């Protein structure tokens, strides 16, 4: 199994880079599963539902979070129901 792990996806520029690059990289390298740290994916701090869905559609299979997990209050509405998000303990 080939796994691609992407470091910190930051804001719109990071999400744009994922959208533009990840599908081709997955295809070219035969990647089976892609994980990305996305704790700063929305405005450079935290993540929103819309940002998470955009990342999934761009080829991210799982999202890891970190110390900015709770920066966007909106995450409380979906973090427990999204089985693709790995949050800190």
Residues 6+ away with beta carbon under 8 Å from 63: 35, 36, 37, 38, 41, 47, 52, 55, 84, 85, 86
Active site residue 68: yes
Catalytic one of 63, 68, 75, 85: 68
Active site residues: 68
């Amino acid at each position: 199994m080939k796994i691609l792990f992407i470091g910190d996806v930051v804001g719109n520029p990071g999400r744009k880079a994922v959208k533009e690059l990840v599908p081709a990289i997955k295809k070219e390298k035969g990647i089976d599963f892609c994980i990305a740290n996305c704790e700063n994916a929305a405005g450079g701090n935290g993540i929103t539902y819309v940002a998470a869905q955009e990342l999934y559609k761009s080829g991210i299979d799982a999202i890891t979070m970190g110390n900015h997990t709770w920066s966007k209050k909106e995450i409380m509405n979906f973090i427990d129901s999204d089985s693709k998000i790995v949050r800190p303990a």
